[in-house]
Amino acid sequence: MKRVLLFILPILIIISVVFTVSGIVQVRFTQDKLMDDLKRKAKTVNESLELSARYILVNNDLKSANRLVEIFQRKERLQGCAIYDKDGQILAITERFSDWSQKDKPYIKDMLINKNPRGELESFREYTVYSYVQPVLDDDNNVLGLVEVLYDTSYMFNTLTELWKKISVTLIILILLITIIAFLIQRQIFILPVRRLTQWFSHFQRGETDKLRPFKEEGEFGKLISEVEQVALGLRVARKAVSDEAHVRIQKEEVWTEAKLRDLIHAKLGENAFFVVSNREPYLHIIDENTGVPKCVRPASGVVTAIDPILRACGGTWVAHGSANADRQFVNSKNKLGVPPGEDRYILKRVWLTKEEEDGYYYGFSNEGLWPLCHVTHTRPIFRETDWQMYKKVNQKFADSILEELPAKNPFVFIQDYHFTLLAKMIKEKRPDAIVAIFWHIPWPNPEVFAICPYQHEILEGMLACDLIGFHLQFHCNNFLDTANRLVECRVDTEKFSIVRANKETFVRAFPISVDGYIGGNILKIDPEQIKKIRKEYNLEDKVVALGVDRIDYTKGIIERIMAIDRFLEKYPQYRNKFVFVQLAAPSRTHIKRYHELIAEIDELVEKKNWKYSDGVWNPIVYLKRHFSPEEIVPYYSLADLCIVSSLHDGMNLVAKEYVSSKNDLSGTLILSRFTGASRELTDAIQINPYSIEEFSDAIKFAIEMPVEEKRKRMENMRNIVKENNVYRWAGKIITELSALKKEAG
Ligand code: ADQ
């Protein structure tokens, strides 16, 4: 539209200028012509009056003078006439024109002397009149008097106004016609072919290759189309080749690597990459408070830590909430961008939410309702009807955004977490052919606890639209099966570990998540200078360093950790001045009251304990409350003699696995809460009950004093487990399971 206007605007301006100029000329010409006519007519009338006037003036016949002016005023358009005597005094004048006698008329005096006729426009009352005056002479050429005729000129003004109107109407019609014709032409030669090309490309993108018809266009546009067709053909051939090669390679490789996962996805999912949906986006664009320049940040989130390497490996599209303040600056017209920035390994599609939507769906229902419901940490879940309505609305918004992207064949949608329990159903309603899986990153409670939720049926119904539901632990799978069995009408098959409801079978499986096991990988190129710098900055030289790395969340047991450290220093004073606990803590969900209170509670506790033990130089706790990039966290893992993970309840806990992965030199000890999913795999960690402060504080002493050989042995065992069960294996198992479902469905 804008482009058409840009094109036709100069044409319209030129036409309007030409029309206006020619209009002015035409009006001038008409005006002159009308004036000439009037002058001629006035002169003729005046001449015909002259004879009678001479008689009247010679005889000074006032009565005849009055009759004469009366007769003439009835003539067409003659407004009036007047007869003057030889002194310039009016003898007779048309009655409705009697005011004329009061008008100052200097030309009368002049005319009595110079005896020349005169025709001019004169203003009278609110009009303009044409006055033609002629002297009446006797035979000796002496002035007997004057005769003046007066014409109303308003008809001329009306005629010229009419003319302007006609010119303007013609101009408007012309402008309209040109605009309509320009639109029609541009639609025919530009919009329609571009629309066809866009549709053609969108079918190609969605893999609807049977709908692709070659189309012919002439000229430059035809050349463009032919180039696009060549690129598309090249892409299809390349995709097919990649998929075939992947099939071959996958048979050969044994250990799960990024490359093996990539091959598996290409081989199993065919031409179309897969779709991931989560609330948290893997890359945020945030305006730096100090510089005012936007920067890209990876959020502190277990889901992001796990899923990002998978999409980096295999490409695809990740749909997530665009929540950061500079996010809109970096997307294209379809709200997409290539990530990681500069590498463009996969597509991130951002979904925008209003403040109200984010408040109800994310802070409200997801994090004040479902999060505490699923974590047994004695924080009361809050369910508000308004939050639930927003949660449904946002699930629908995401469903619409995903449906727009789904290819014609083989769509695989992999949903992340408790924010999207209704999404599978919404997607399946429109695309029953799509294979949909959800991974539940947090624990699933027992049926009695879940039954608290007022929306339990809708949530279960929404989740049971999935083909596959994944949990970290078999224990959570069992809880889910029990919950479905008790709360909805369904058949639970304990052999196949599936749930059948309304003829739809949903498989439930445990897939313990992990990290990318960057054991020996690039990220671990640690700069010893960096470690030295940190030690110096926080006075860690010659100290035993314990580390905690968490989002600030009441499930992570940060308060219990500080209490245990306090007890440890109380019980074992020999460690005072020799032990420092460093806590990296990223504030999260800060709009929720409970989180707000927790942040204040931790601040106060750290302050109190440091005050209790500090000798002026040494502080037992270094509390670094901010977000760290993965590269910034690695040196801390590296220098820490022990890492403390004390979650009160945690689906898995990736910090434990990250710490183990980073310990290339087999140093370090892991203290791990029994209530984390990770504790099932990392049995060589020192396992604790974080609620038992006594046991916890003893575990710290035990970890420090453990013989080096035992530490190395335990670390080696844990590293082998994490190396083998890395996140590529996790994703590989899910993809294999999904593609088996696809075969069954197909
Ligand atoms: P989270 O509750 O987010 O994940 P977790 O698994 O511990 O918890 O992962 C946290 C991630 O954030 C880690 O990668 C860690 O390095 C990072 N992180 C922690 N503190 C940080 C800081 N201060 N700055 C920057 N990054 C920081 C949810 C579930 C878990 C489950 C994961 C994955 O609650 O149980 O393990 O999903 O499924």
- 505 within a domain of the structure (yes/no): yes
Question: What are the two backbone dihedrals, phi and then psi, of residue 493, each rounded to the nearest 5 degrees?
Answer: -105, 105
Asked whether residue 612 is domain-assigned, the answer is yes
Q: What is the pLDDT of residue 237?
A: 64
- Residues sharing a CB contact under 8 Å with residue 590, sequence separation 6 or more, in sequence order: 596, 599
Q: To which H or E segment does residue 709 belong?
A: helix 708-724
Q: Quote the mean pLDDT of the chain.
A: 89
Out of 93, 126, 158, pick the residue that ends a domain: 158
Q: Is the pLDDT of residue 627 over 60?
A: yes
Ligand 1 lined by 557 (C-beta under 6 Å): no
Q: Ligand 1 mean position to 198 CA, how many Å?
A: 41
- In degrees and rounded to multiples of 5, residue 685 shows phi and psi of -75, 160
**Whether residue 407 is found in the same domain as residue 478:** yes
Lowest-pLDDT range of 171-175, 231-235, 407-411: 231-235
Mean of the pLDDT values across residues 652-671?
95
Give me the percent of the chain exceeding a pLDDT of 70.
Answer: 91
Name the CA radius of gyration of the chain, rounded: 46
| pLDDT over threshold 90, residue 269 | no
Q: What is the mean pLDDT of residues 438-442?
A: 98
pLDDT higher than threshold 80 for residue 515: yes
| 436 and 321, same domain (yes or no) | yes
Nearest-CA residue for atom 7 of ligand 1: 653
User: 722 to each of 58, 232, 475, 670, 726, how far by Cα in Å?
Assistant: 136, 41, 20, 13, 6
Question: Alpha helix locations (H) across 494-592?
Answer: 528-537, 558-571
Confidence at residue 266, expressed as pLDDT on a 0 to 100 scale: 78
Instruction: Please state which of the ranges 252-261, 281-290, 326-335, 361-370 shows the lowest mean pLDDT.
Output: 252-261
Ligand 1 atom with least separation from CA of 585: 23
Instruction: Provide long-range contacts, Cβ within 8 A and 24+ apart, for 701-704.
Output: 701/568, 701/571, 701/572, 701/575, 703/642, 703/669, 703/671, 704/544, 704/575, 704/579, 704/641, 704/642, 704/669
Q: Is residue 200 part of a domain?
A: no
Tell whether 730 is covered by a domain: no
546 sits in the region (left: phi over 0; alpha: psi -120 to 50; else beta) called beta
User: What single-letter DSSP state applies at residue 521?
Assistant: S
Entry field: residues in the chain = 746
How far is 2 from 178, CA to CA, in rounded Å?
Answer: 16
Q: What is the mean pLDDT of the segment spanning 235-241? A: 63
Residue 246, pLDDT > 60, answer no
Please give the pLDDT value at position 520: 45
Give the CATH number for residue 544.
3.40.50.2000
Q: What is the pLDDT of residue 387?
A: 98
Domain boundary among 510, 536, 567: 510
> How many angstroms is it from 586 CA to the middle of ligand 1?
10
Between 674 and 30, the more confident residue is: 674
Note whether 538 and 435 are same-domain residues: no
Assess whether 383 and 471 both reside in one domain: yes
Residue 686: name the closest of 703, 708, 698 by CA.
703
At 216 the pLDDT is 67
| Residue bearing the bigger pLDDT, 265 or 574 | 574
| Residue 718, ligand 1, Cβ within 6 A | no
In sign, the C-alpha dihedral spanning 622, 626, 627, 629 is negative
Residues 425 and 552 in one domain: no
Q: In the Cβ-directed half-sphere of 339, how many Cα atoms lie within 13 Å?
A: 29
Chain CA centroid to CA 286, Å:
14
Closest CA to 246 of 231, 268, 226, 225: 268
In degrees and rounded to multiples of 5, residue 524 shows phi and psi of: -85, 10
**DSSP H or E run through 403:** helix 385-403
E strand map for 371-427: 412-416
Residues 382 and 484 in one domain: yes
521 domain-assigned? no
In the reported structure, the alpha carbon of residue 299 is separated from the centroid of ligand 1 by a whole-number distance in angstroms of: 9
Task: Answer yes or no: do 139 and 18 share one domain.
Answer: yes
Strands 579-586 and 544-551: parallel
Question: In angstroms, rounded to a whole number, what is the distance separating the alpha carbons of residues 408 and 410?
Answer: 7
For residue 250, the tally of other CB atoms under 10 A from its CB is 19
Residues 534 and 503 in one domain: no
3-class state of residue 286 by DSSP? strand
Q: How far apart are CA 312 and CA 345, in angstroms?
A: 5
H/E segment holding residue 198: helix 192-206
pLDDT of residue 474: 95
Ligand 1 pocket mutation pick from 371, 551, 599 by most atoms within 8 angstroms of CB: 551
Contact 340, 283 (CB under 8 A): yes
Joined tokens for residue 570:
């109380």
Cα 708 to Cα 710: distance, rounded to the nearest angstrom? 5
User: Taking Cα atoms as reference points, which of 391, 383, 386 lies closest to residue 426?
Assistant: 391
CATH of residue 98's domain is: 3.30.450.20
Q: Is the CB of 506 under 6 A from ligand 1?
A: no
Question: Does 558 have pLDDT greater than 60?
Answer: yes
Does ligand 1 have an atom closer than 6 angstroms to the CB of 306? Answer: yes
Let me know: does 690 contact 675? Beta carbons within 8 Å: yes
Counting atoms of ligand 1 from 1, which one is nearest the CA of 677?
35
- Both 28 and 153 in one domain: the answer is yes
Average pLDDT over residues 546-572: 98
Are both 289 and 438 inside the same structural domain? yes
Categorise residue 331: left if φ over 0, alpha if ψ from -120 to 50, beta otherwise: beta
- Are 441 and 353 in the same domain? yes
pLDDT reported for residue 183: 82
CB atoms within 10 A of CB 54: 17
DSSP class of residue 685 equals: S
User: Best mutation site among 472, 583, 629, 653 for ligand 1, i.e. most ligand atoms within 8 A of its Cβ?
Assistant: 653
State the average pLDDT over residues 85-113.
86
Segment 521-544 mean pLDDT: 86
For residue 299, give every residue at least 6 positions away whose Cβ sits within 8 Å of its Cβ, in sequence order, or none: 280, 281, 282, 284, 627
Domains held by the chain: number: 3
Tell how far the Cα of 658 is from the centroid of ligand 1, in angstroms. Answer: 10
Mutate to test the pocket of ligand 1, among 283, 284, 286, 301 (most ligand atoms within 8 A of CB): 301
Q: Which residue minimizes the CA distance to atom 27 of ligand 1?
A: 300
Residue 180: pLDDT band with limits 50, 70, 90:
confident
The pTM is what?
A: 0.73
Q: For 349, list phi and psi in degrees, rounded to 5.
A: -105, 120
Q: Cα(627)–Cα(490) distance, rounded to whole angstroms?
A: 45
Q: Is the Cβ atom of 284 under 6 angstroms away from ligand 1?
A: no
Considering the domain architecture, whether residues 351 and 474 belong to the same structural domain is answered as: yes
- The β-bridge relationship of strands 294-297 and 275-278 is unpaired
Q: Which residue has the tokens 């369910």?
A: 383
- State in Å: Cα 275 to ligand 1 middle: 22
Does a structural domain hold residue 708? yes
Confidence of residue 459 (pLDDT cuts 50, 70, 90): very high
Write the CA distances from 430 to 39, 399, 427, 473, integer angstroms: 85, 10, 6, 32
Lowest mean pLDDT among 169-183, 392-406, 413-427, 535-549: 169-183
Cα of 556 from ligand 1 centre, angstroms: 10
pLDDT at 743: 64
The rounded percent of the chain whose pLDDT value lies above 90 is 56
In a domain, 91, yes or no: yes
Mean predicted confidence (pLDDT) in 410-419: 92
388 within domain boundaries? yes
* Atom 26, ligand 1: residue with shortest CA distance: 300
Which pLDDT band holds residue 234 (cuts at 50, 70, 90)?
A: low
Which residues does residue 127 pair with via DSSP β-bridges, in sequence order?
Answer: 124
Provide the domain limits for residue 505.
274-510
Distance 656 CA to ligand 1 centre (A): 10
Confidence of residue 257 (pLDDT cuts 50, 70, 90): confident
Return d(Cα 467, Cα 508) in angstroms, integer. 9
Please say which residue of 99, 133, 158 terminates a domain.
158
> What is the average pLDDT across 436-445?
97
Q: How far is the CA of 278 from the centre of ligand 1 (A)?
A: 15
Q: Which residue blocks in 472-628 are alpha helix, DSSP H?
A: 474-487, 528-537, 558-571, 593-613
- Which residue among 276, 280, 305, 373 is best mutated to probe the pocket of ligand 1, counting the most ligand atoms within 8 A of its Cβ? 305
CA–CA dist 454, 145 (Å, integer): 112
Q: Which of 218-232, 440-454, 594-608 has the lowest mean pLDDT?
A: 218-232
528 upstream amide cis, omega within 30 of 0? no
pLDDT at 213: 63
Which two three-digit tokens encode residue 732? 């590989």
> By alpha-carbon position, which residue is closest to atom 19 of ligand 1?
550
CA of 256 to the centre of ligand 1 (A): 22
